[in-house]
Amino acid sequence: MLIALRENAWRLAARPVSAKTVAAVLLLACALFMFANAKTPPVFLWDESRLAVNALEMHQRGWSLVTTYGFVPDLWNTKPPLMIWLMNASMSLFGPSELSMRLPSMAAALGTLLVVFCFVRKVTHSVPTAALAMTLLGISEAFYGEHGARTGDYDSLLCFFTTSYLCLLYFAVHQQRPRVRLLAAAGVLIALAALTKTIAGLVPGAGVALYLLVSNRSRRALETPRYGLMLAAGLTPLAVFYLAREWLAPGYLHAVWFNDFVGRYQAQLGPVHRPLWFFLQLMTFDWMFSAGPLAFLAPLGLIGCEGQTRRALVYSLCCVATELFVISVPATRLPQYMLPALPWLAIACAITAVEWFRRISRPDGTEGTVRHGVALALVAVAMVSIALPALRLRYDIVPSRAVSPEGSYGAMFASLHDQGIRGATIIEPGRDVSGLRAYAPQLRFYALLWNERGMKIERSERLKSAAAEPVVGTCNPEVTGALIAIDARPVGPDGCVVVVTRPHAH
């Protein structure tokens, strides 16, 4: 009996694991790594809080083509409303919260990981290569961190759409006459990418153009009108939206022209100057990409790489190179701009790593055994060097660069609610930035959220005008001292204080 059980166990262990099982297990592991937290992080100042306010105001006022801030048309955040619609839908299904607002980004990130796995598995016929590409992407801070999978921003959704349409276009350009159905699907994804983040949704397509030139396929692409029709179909929804939005709230197109096009290329938006090599530094020496400086070795995979695997590697390198070049041109260079390049960098690094491992570890006699051991040792060292920075960055729970004291208002309101207090006046001067006076989007989101939960939260920019209110509080360090001077007590997270003159204020 025991012998039979042991033999069956050995047979099960020797049976190859299916690609679907590997993908499912890795997807679950990546989801736990990216999203499992002891507590929900507060909304981030840039730019999650702005989108969160757009979505929550739409949730309270109803669906619209016009996004609002302060319930007036938003001419500062001028991106199309696809992401806001998805956030609104999530809030409608699960109720308003930080988590429901972030669910579309989280789902898009998992979708991108699955697309990468399926693409690499199909073009290389290698489950280990697909698994490595998926892992390298999933543990990259730029992919899961601020502006990525764990926050309610545009970039995770954008990355899903751009990665998906680039995968489809890879198969299209290798067909003598691309199938209409394939290009139609790519056109839909291009349209969705453009409706997510306008021109940023189109930039990754430049990688396809470079690949056509490098692989001498540009003539074939020009001989058929199908690619032009695909691009026209992809741009039409964005054009229709622009016209409709301008008609509903005039002045929108002028704001778009500056915010999304000319302004970012001619002038720096934001106080920090970044050099031309900013994105290379982020991805490698700052470890925003999991493989860090090893990413520079990705082109070495071209040595000895053949067939469709080589084509996929060249395609990936073209996508990475063009994306990094184009996003380095504008005067404004923000870390989240590089997200669409990360899946292709992960694919290129995975192909190169597996190809070189196979070359080093060919088991031909004693020499082959030694080489195999050396190869395994190198892989172990590489994986440790990748894993340690990834773990350190992931569990730095709330990066100081991403959060201002305003992010504590949600916990403060929860504490007041637990004490039976149903109303408060918050002293928050805000900040003056990019033409916006007294800007405090984190406070606005939490005030709207807790107003919906039965509290009455009002804001005052100065203490003097709110001194007579029954409950007065702040998380702003510039105001905390003045409240402590009139016997304020700590409430909620560190740094937040409140003065309660009538304990059961409603």
What average pLDDT score do residues 229-254 get?
A: 93
pTM equals: 0.90
138 Cβ contact list (under 8 Å, min separation 6)? 26, 29, 30, 33, 34, 113, 144
More confident residue, 220 or 144: 144
- Rounded to the nearest 5 percent, the helix, strand and coil shares of the chain are 65, 5, 30
Strands 456-460, 423-427: parallel, antiparallel or unpaired by DSSP? parallel
pLDDT (tens digit per residue) in 462-505: 877 666 678 889 998 888 888 888 877 888 777 888 888 755 54
More confident residue, 101 or 386: 101
For the chain, the average pLDDT equals 85
pLDDT score at 197: 94
pLDDT score at 9: 44
Categorize the per-residue pLDDT at 361 as very low, low, confident or very high, splitting at 50, 70 and 90. low
Q: Name the region of 437 (left: φ>0; alpha: ψ -120 to 50; beta: rest).
A: beta
36 Cβ contact list (under 8 Å, min separation 6)? none
What average pLDDT score do residues 119-141 get?
A: 94
Residues forming a β-bridge with 456: 423
CB atoms within 10 A of CB 326: 18
pLDDT score at 360: 73
Instruction: Provide the strand spans (E) within 320-449.
Output: 423-427, 431-433, 436-439
Q: What are the residue ranges spanned by the domains of the chain? A: 12-394, 405-500
What average pLDDT score do residues 24-46 get?
A: 89
Task: Look at residues 125, 143, 127 and name the one whose alpha carbon lies nearest to residue 31.
Answer: 143
pLDDT score at 395: 66
pLDDT (tens digit per residue) in 157-214: 999 999 999 999 999 999 888 899 999 999 999 999 999 999 899 999 999 999 999 9
Token code pair at residue 474: 């702040």
Categorize the per-residue pLDDT at 390 as very low, low, confident or very high, splitting at 50, 70 and 90. low
Token code pair at residue 302: 């071209």
Q: Give per-residue burial for 402-431: e unless 16+ CB within 10 Å, then b.
A: bbbbbbbbbbbbbbbeeeebbbbbbbbebe
pLDDT score at 2: 45
Categorize the per-residue pLDDT at 393 as very low, low, confident or very high, splitting at 50, 70 and 90. low
Residues forming a β-bridge with 426: 459, 473
pLDDT for 369 beyond 90: no
